[in-house]
Amino acid sequence: MTADLDSELIAALQRNGRATYRELSAAVNAPRAAVSTRVQALLDSGTVSVVAVAHPELLGLKALAHVSIAVSGSLTPVINALIESESAVYVSAVSGQYNVITELRVPSHDDLYRAIAELRSHSGVKSVSTLVYVDVVKGIFMPDSALQSEIRLDSVDVALIELLERNGRMPFLELAEHTGLSPSAVRNRVNHLISSTALRVGAVVKRRGAGRTLAMGIGVNLGSRDDAAVSAIESLPGIEFLARTLGRYDVIATVAANSASDLHSLSERIRRIDGVSGLESWAHLEVFKEHYARSLDVRD
């Protein structure tokens, strides 16, 4: 029961990392006291952290890609290089044909080409396969829409973003103490940053302990019913990330569940969707990096 509640709470926090306990209670249909206790336990144990991420376009990052890397010998040198790379926001060791996957976020496709060329130059890298994101359908730290052109940030907005990057659930009172504004003024600013798509606050899962501890990547090939199939995949439980891509797959997804059997059941449901012509999967064995924050100074 606790694992099921934790899974529901994690999903709710991934949708809105700043949801109040009352909102979370309504979302998971559980008593507020139980919700408060479990959320605090998830945060204290390190199973979940809630952070804010600025819109990629606000950071000048317009080329995003999923990169799979096949390695000969130890994975450690390649993983360490990716951990040190500012371009790599996500790094995971995986099972299957490829050993490491990473998500790269860079300013342009020229930068993406150079970053992948650098990856290929590392000793031990046998091959690299790149999927360029065309459209991110669902993602905890991906915007639902393009950045609103009228967004203009001042030094206080930047300070709030940097504070929330460290702790996405920092109370408005504490944010006010750091910025010198009143709590109501801080509330208005933070709500505006979120509603204007400049900022997104969500939960990062450390894949240990209770609640959606297992994650699997899925690559899907589609036939003619592209949009309908993508919508059907998006509606399934446990889909944390979904993107249309250019490359060996038409769609990639990350799914999470409490058990291997749940992951198998979910992949079978995807295979049965009308329009899905092929599916490959890989297990995330260990996530070494999931860090999306970037200094706002990178903007042109």
Task: Report pLDDT digits (tens) over 215-273.
Answer: 999 999 998 768 899 999 999 988 989 999 999 999 999 998 888 999 999 999 999 99
Same domain, 31 and 131: no
For residue 181, being part of any structural domain is answered with: no
**Which strand (E) or helix (H) includes residue 164?**
helix 155-166
**Amino acid code (one letter) for 138:** K
Distance between CA 196 and CA 108 in Å, rounded?
Answer: 24
Lowest mean pLDDT: which of 16-25, 126-135, 174-183, 208-217?
Answer: 208-217
Same domain, 21 and 102: no
Same domain, 126 and 215: yes
For residue 99, being part of any structural domain is answered with: yes
For residue 24, being part of any structural domain is answered with: yes
Same domain, 30 and 70: no
65 forms beta bridges with 104, 132
Instruction: Give me the chain's average pLDDT, please.
Output: 89
Strand, helix or coil at 86? coil
List the structure tokens of 176. Answer: 């006010």
List the structure tokens of 211. Answer: 């609640």
Which residue's entry shows tokens 């999923």?
Answer: 66
Strand, helix or coil at 152? coil
Same domain, 6 and 120: no
> Residue 18 sits in a domain of what CATH number?
1.10.10
Same domain, 125 and 247: yes
Instruction: Tell me what pLDDT residue 1 has.
Output: 54
**Which strand (E) or helix (H) includes residue 63?**
strand 63-71
For residue 226, being part of any structural domain is answered with: yes
* Nearest one of 196, 5, 188, 219 to 98, comparing CA atoms: 219
Q: What is the maximal distance between C-alpha atoms in the chain?
A: 57
Q: How many CB atoms lie within 10 A of CB 122?
A: 14
Lowest mean pLDDT: which of 7-21, 37-51, 127-141, 207-221?
Answer: 207-221
Query: Considering the entire predicted model, what is its pTM?
Result: 0.82
For residue 135, being part of any structural domain is answered with: yes
pLDDT surpasses 60 at 171: yes
Same domain, 115 and 230: yes
Same domain, 286 and 231: yes
List the structure tokens of 290. Answer: 């999931």
Same domain, 29 and 107: no
Strand, helix or coil at 124? coil
For residue 50, being part of any structural domain is answered with: no
For residue 69, being part of any structural domain is answered with: yes
Percent of the chain scored above 90 by pLDDT? 67
Distance between CA 82 and CA 79 in Å, rounded?
Answer: 5
Residue 29 structural domain: 2-45
Same domain, 30 and 113: no
Same domain, 262 and 131: yes
Say how many domains are in the chain: 2
Average pLDDT over residues 42-47: 89
For residue 242, being part of any structural domain is answered with: yes
Same domain, 36 and 75: no
